[in-house]
Structure 1
Amino acid sequence: MGESTTRTAPRGAGTNKGPVGSRAGQRLSGLAVALGLVLFLGGFGWAALVYRPYTVPTGSMTPTIGVGDRVLAQRVDGSAVRRGDVVVFHDKTWVQNSAVVKRVVAVGGDTVSCCKQGKLTVNGKEIDEPYLKGGVAEITNFPTVKVPEGRLFLLGDERQGSLDSTAHLTDAASGTVPRSAVDARVDAVIWPMKGMLQRPTGFEVFGALSQPGPLRTMVLLIAVGAVLVLAGGAYGPIAKRMGGSRARTEPARAR
């Protein structure tokens, strides 16, 4: 007589899969969440160390920066500032206890004047300034200024009515400010979302321009971190739902 045998599944078989997915999947989702948090928080922490937010209260930098725009400025030493940079600085001879945002158009040793055919002149060269409204320096003519060493000559992008170096020409330093007064260099307008400032190519004739800070890298880290956190967190509910669907269909196949 034949003996009937009953096959039993090995102990532990099937335990690696269930309504919440495989153990490997759970581990990977946990790793994704952990890595995502590191990238997300690390990006924000890095940005907090390197950048400072400012709100620009006037229209002296329009159209580049409008009234009330929120900007991110990279903390830099004044010695790193170059022509064309938009900087944040403090100078008590200009404004008491308030940050000022202007564009550097000349540095120590330069000779600057305005205007020739509607263009600013630095060291005898006419400067193209596409960031100006209409690309023309609509400004009251000012006499030639020789910028002292270690100082900066600054103008607003809205040249008419801007309280910049031209409003302080009668000062002992001919409207210039020391490099040491610079706190930061503006990299981007974040509200409204105008993005990174364009490099002022008109000043390339005098050498290399300042390079943008690491803001794009920071944004990438934050974005990738957010995606990993969301993807890792969504794995469990998705696997549970898929497991439940399989459980409902398998008995029907056995009939």
Structure 2
Amino acid sequence: MSGTGRTGDGHGRLGNALSSLAVAVGCVLFLGGFAWGAVVYKPYTVPTASMSPTVNAGDRVLAERIDGADVRRGDVVVFTDSVWGNQPMVKRVVGVGGDKVACCDAEGRLTINGEPVEEPYLQAQLPAGGQAAAPAAQQDFTAVVPKGQVFLLGDERSTSLDSRVHLEDPGQGSVPLSAVQARLDAVAWPSQSLIERPESFAGLPGGISAGGPLPLQLGAVVVGVVLILGGAAAGPIAARASRRGRTTGPASAR
């Protein structure tokens, strides 16, 4: 008696099992990636151009929920402070507790504790190798950041209403770390781009923050989709292969 049909059935059962496994793992990755993202990230719409060209007015962004202990220089953060109008605002942290923030040096650069800081995000719209068209701020200023607070500037220095506007307030324009709610990791719409951590702050004490988990979350979602579609397609293929195996067997046993 020939075992061809039985072998085809075995292959078909194995193919169906692998197909179901791929779909199940894909669903876990797909749903898990979305759930992880919903826990870690919160979407915001940026209302003004004060962070241009890094983030433009109307951009939808994804911000990682963090607490004040996670804030580093160079981070673009969402914060709410009563002195600033008690509305969520988006600015870049340039100074942390204990820093002396000043502008500008002879080359128009911001200085932190006397050290000049290159700010490439201010030059993002200029030709490669071009020099900044304007200094890091339009007026000279000096501020000492109290412990537990941060000093914030917009990337569009000519129009941003930031810590410079509040220099006469207690804390010289700084904001408590407790006011920080999230750190921007990506622009989601209308463009799609990650917001890089500026290396120019890396050499200062505390360094810069690590990138968020968004790439891993997106990777899990993409792999999940591939497994779901691949597993769903493999099931019928395995079934057809099993049927062909049965029909090619001998018509009778001898």
Determine if the TM-score, normalized by the shorter chain, exceeds 0.5: yes
SS in 1 for 2:227: helix
- Measure, in 1, the Cα distance between the counterparts of 2:193 and 2:175: 28
Amino acid at match of 1:183: Q
Amino acid at match of 1:209: I
* Contact 2:22–2:230 (CA under 8 A) maintained in structure 1: yes
Displacement after TM superposition at 1:40 (Å): 0.7
SS in 2 for 1:159: coil
In structure 2, the CA distance between the partners of 1:53 and 1:16, relative to structure 1 (3 Å rule), is farther
* Contact 1:52–1:73 (CA under 8 A) maintained in structure 2: yes
- Measure, in 2, the Cα distance between the counterparts of 1:83 and 1:138: 16
Residue aligning to 1:5:
none
- Structure showing greater Rg: 1
RCO greater where, 1 or 2, for CA within 8 Å and sep 6 or more?
Answer: 2
* Contact 1:188–1:194 (CA under 8 A) maintained in structure 2: yes
- Measure, in 1, the Cα distance between the counterparts of 2:248 and 2:189: 52
Displacement after TM superposition at 1:187 (Å): 1.1
Bigger mean CA offset, 128-137 vs 83-92: 128-137
Q: Does 1:143 align with 2:134?
A: no
Q: Which residue of the other structure, out of 142, 155, 172, is the alignment partner of 1:157?
A: 155
* Contact 1:78–1:182 (CA under 8 A) maintained in structure 2: yes
- CA offsets 1:125-162 (integer angstroms, 9 cap, x no match): 11100011346344221321111111110000000110
- Which runs of no fewer than 5 residues in structure 1 stay unpaired? 1-7
Residue aligning to 2:193:
195
- CA offsets 1:152-207 (integer angstroms, 9 cap, x no match): 10000000110111111122221110000000111111213342112211112213
* Contact 1:142–1:166 (CA under 8 A) maintained in structure 2: no
* Contact 1:167–1:175 (CA under 8 A) maintained in structure 2: yes
Residue aligning to 2:104:
115
SS in 2 for 1:62: coil
**Cα RMSD (Å) of the superposition?**
2.4
* Contact 2:12–2:241 (CA under 8 A) maintained in structure 1: no
Residue aligning to 2:214:
215
Residue aligning to 2:94:
105
Residue aligning to 2:5:
14
SS in 1 for 2:110: strand
In structure 2, the CA distance between the partners of 1:249 and 1:24, relative to structure 1 (3 Å rule), is closer
Residue aligning to 1:206:
204
Amino acid at match of 1:42: G
- Give aligned-pair identity as a percent: 52
Displacement after TM superposition at 1:228 (Å): 0.2
Amino acid at match of 2:190: P
Amino acid at match of 2:54: T
Q: Does 1:68 align with 2:49?
A: no
Residue aligning to 1:172:
170
Matched pairs, number: 240
Residue aligning to 2:26:
36
Bigger mean CA offset, 188-197 vs 173-182: 188-197
SS in 2 for 1:74: strand
* Contact 1:138–1:160 (CA under 8 A) maintained in structure 2: no
TM (normalized to structure 1)? Answer: 0.85
- Which runs of no fewer than 5 residues in structure 2 stay unpaired? none
- CA offsets 1:71-110 (integer angstroms, 9 cap, x no match): 11111111211111111110111123x2111000001111
Residue aligning to 1:232:
231
- Measure, in 2, the Cα distance between the counterparts of 1:85 and 1:157: 12
* Contact 2:197–2:208 (CA under 8 A) maintained in structure 1: yes
- Measure, in 1, the Cα distance between the counterparts of 2:237 and 2:47: 48
In structure 2, the CA distance between the partners of 1:138 and 1:106, relative to structure 1 (3 Å rule), is closer
* Contact 2:92–2:152 (CA under 8 A) maintained in structure 1: yes
